[in-house]
């Protein structure tokens, strides 16, 4: 399992929790963003900086995610694509996006 973070809009406090969890569990964690984001020195935490542009980070996450990976995002359309790929998707607040609830959330 890998953890992917849609990092541009992810709150700093949530990123700090993710950093601690990645180091504690030893799970490879990648932040994907259009801009540079400072990450702590860790062999488990990486930043993947993508070009600026509409949905560049989202598209890169969709390309790289595999079934069973965990993704942290507040982007409902992105979450819908990832659920369809078999990923586990959480909002930064800890709400789980599932096949049962994502369609209703997407239409809101």
For helices 76-84 and 56-64, the axis angle rounded to 10 degrees is 20
Mean pLDDT for 81-93 is 96
- Tokens in use for 5? 């973070």
Helices (H), 1-108: 12-25, 56-64, 76-84, 102-107
- Tokens in use for 1? 């399992």
Residue-wise pLDDT tens digits, 52-70: 988 899 999 999 999 999 9
The mean pLDDT of the chain is 94
């Amino acid at each position: 399992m890998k953890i992917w973070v849609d990092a541009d809009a992810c709150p700093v406090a949530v990123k700090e929790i993710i950093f601690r969890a990645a180091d504690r569990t030893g799970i490879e964690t990648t932040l994907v963003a259009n801009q540079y984001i400072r990450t702590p020195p860790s062999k488990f935490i990486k930043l993947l900086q993508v070009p600026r542009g509409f949905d560049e980070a989202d598209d890169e996450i969709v390309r790289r995610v595999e079934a069973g990976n965990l993704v942290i995002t507040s982007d409902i359309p992105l979450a819908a694509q990832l659920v369809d790929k078999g990923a586990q998707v959480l909002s930064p607040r800890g709400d789980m996006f599932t096949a049962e609830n994502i369609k209703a959330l997407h239409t809101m």
